[in-house]
Structure 1
Amino acid sequence: MTETTSEQHEPAGEPGSVVGPEHTDGRGERNGRTGPDARDDPDTATEPDPDAEPDAEPETETATEPAAEAEEPATEPEPDPDPEPDPEAGRLRRRVRGQLRTFALAAAGVALSAVVAAVVSAYLDIWSVRRPPPGAPRITAASEVWWDLVHDHHLVRSAPGSAYEKEAGAFGSAEDTLARMVTEGGADSGMMRIRLILTNFTRTPATITSVRARIESTRPAPAGTLFQCGGPQGSSELSRVTLDLSAPQQPAVERDAEGRPTGQYPTTAVQVAAQGDPAYFDIEVKAAAAAGPAVAYEFVLDVGYTQGDRQERLRVDQAGRPFVLAQGTEDLKQGFRCSNAGWAQA
């Protein structure tokens, strides 16, 4: 019999069960049972045992305890004390910062200069559409006096008693000698060519309408010996625009190669380009031969032009002084004439 055998092997002095006395509920079932019946009861499986030892912990908590201890952060080492600052390194850093600041200021200055230049250029462009910048002229004029010695007579009345009368052949080039005679009291006579150099400072073209001579004064011409160079050697290929000082009220006229007038200058539109290169105009000025004592004219050129809807006039002189031209002579067989060998009697 199985039950009898189990009772015989139970040790003496121990309670009949390690789980405590048996209790029964109203249904007559034992609450403290163990074994297969206890595992099958859902109420018993989920209810903790009140008599269990408090030190007993579930195996799951014990198993995770070492992992929690391993996750504790390690103690951080104390930082090393800061090294002493190097004075040389500090000076080097300050010098580098100063150089960078200088470069930055220089770059800012260059950029500011470019902006200012662009603004000023735009301002001047706006002003020059119809007029030059404030204080600047609309058109400027310069002049040169010259002779075409292939076709023209360059005649100079020397000052009385000059050294040229005594030793004419002792001087150098003919043109240099004639120029020195004029600066030393002589006067160009008969004719001269004046080259006008006009420059437009606006963006509006200018059209030349007339050229006149305005005589400012007259005086007796020098009464010294005549010196001449050049002379007609064929028809001229130059454009002949002529002013006659004996009739200053008349404007310049154009002449053909034979010297015949073709009309008041300019017979066709002559323009000064808008803000372009200088424009050159050659004017031939004549003073008629004197029948008696010759006179010298001091004069300037009066150039009329239109620009847009404005009618303007421009004074042209010789570097701030009036031009001087004395009357010529019909007798060219007097005085001295230049030649390849120097000066010789005419």
Structure 2
Amino acid sequence: MQLKRAIEKVPGGMMVIPLLFGALINTFFPNTGDYFGSFTGALFKGSLPILAVFFFCIGTTINFKATPYIIKKGGALLLTKIGVAAIAGIIATQLIGHDPSMTVLGGLSVLAIVAAMNDTNGGLYMALIGQFGKKEDAGAYSLMSLESGPFLTMVTLGIAGLSSFPWQTMVGAILPLIAGMVAGNLDKEFRELFSKAVPAVIPFFAFGLGAGLDFKKVAQASFTGLFLGIGVVVITGAALFLVDRLTGGNGISGLAAATTAGNAAAVPAAVAAANPVYKDVAASATIMVAASVIVTAVLVPFIVAWYAKRISTNNDSDQQLVSMERSL
């Protein structure tokens, strides 16, 4: 039985399927965790410790030894992604309100918007660059992976004026990632060991996050999440495309980065744990970000493939014109 392959056919399946499974149990059997207690009960309510391990493992994959081009390209895309999320957060704050618990359109919150825009789907980015882009652009994700975790989302929410976070909490949010980066760069065997654990950990914290959700709220938030995903592609895609072209690229790496990472769905819960004012919106934000993961994972490959074919056709036409001119 090829269960893993079946799950992976769903965009972000290793994140989305366990999350929905946890929500299914919580909706129809809400006391399951309390009934069994012990390790089973901890899995229903203990996603944060697993997330700490997850971010440590991701940190081990980040290499300090980046070439100047990688720093230029990755840094430009990283800063653009963060900048666009910050601007979107500020605008959304003016429209939705300065109260972090405020929502509109079936539960849309500033937290959901910022979390969806802040983090790029690294696996999809690497796959698209490998097929359509330049090989050197693939290395840009070594810097862009710094988006992972709740730290930058906390910074962005602070910039947007939606409450502040104690410096200890800010540092604590990024410490597992930094510890992983140090370990992975000091010893390549550490990197090889823990980097392999990244995909294995995802279903467990996803299930824990889903166990805190209710399908009634999912139904309210999923439609809005669809439009949130489209917004991520259009808004961040336009900005990233422009920056990619300005830094010497052909636009493909910018478009490939206009996605929401699967682990971004874990950010609302982490932010709510750091600041309780976000507790009321964390559940709906998690579902919306998860919806954005799926929407962006479906749309972006088609957009990148279409654009790659277009520029390839234009290049072929230019070469034919040059050949004709030379023959004359």
Fold shared per TM-score above 0.5? no
TM-score, with length taken from structure 1? 0.20
TM-score, with length taken from structure 2? 0.21
Higher helix fraction: Structure 1 or Structure 2?
Answer: 2
**Structure with bigger gyration radius:** 1
Tell me: higher relative CO, structure 1 or 2? Use CA pairs within 8 A at least 6 residues apart: 2
Higher strand fraction: Structure 1 or Structure 2?
Answer: 1
